[in-house]
Amino acid sequence: MESLTLLIYGINIPPHKHLHKLANKFINRFMKVRQTIDFTDEHYYEVIVEEQSLISAQRNYITAPIIPVHKNYLQNLLKVYSNLNATVTLCTEEHEHPLVCFNDIEYEGYCYYELNSDKKILFFGVLDTKHVILLPKQSNPEKLMLEYIKTHFETLHN
């Protein structure tokens, strides 16, 4: 199975229980189909549900749901999760972990690559605030993080 990431981000992400309940509906459907004679892994994606909360009080981490979904039903999965009160996008499994040091403080980011797009989504935290920046795939996230931090340093640390 080819792997994808379903990225959910925002300030009002639903509770983990709700996200897992949605995932279980797709997993149960997969388990039924898996028993049939014409089943093959090649027709399915393995979709890892990841979240990035943009509020200062981070949620407790739990294991991300992994949803096997038929390639023909990928848009249905996206439609179901898009009804949540958050931003939802499909991304490749490939990602980056940019690291920047400024004024003896280390800042770490997480960068997702949108599927079928030339954009990536960069998340990084400064103190208790998480920031998100959309940028072209070919751009340098470390450079952009550093520019952002330099520009906003006084405001971010006061």
pLDDT digit string, tens, across residues 96-126: 999 999 888 888 899 999 999 999 999 988 7
pLDDT digit string, tens, across residues 18-67: 888 888 888 888 888 878 767 788 888 999 999 888 876 566 767 778 99
DSSP 32-74: HHHTSTT--GGGEEEEEEEEEE-SSSPPPP-PPPEEEEEGGGH
pLDDT band at 155 (very low <50, low <70, confident <90, very high): low
* Sequence ranges of the domains in the chain: 1-93, 97-158
DSSP structural state of residue 101: E
Q: Measured between alpha carbons, how far is 15 from 51 in angstroms, rounded to an integer? A: 11
Q: Which amino acid is at 40?
A: T
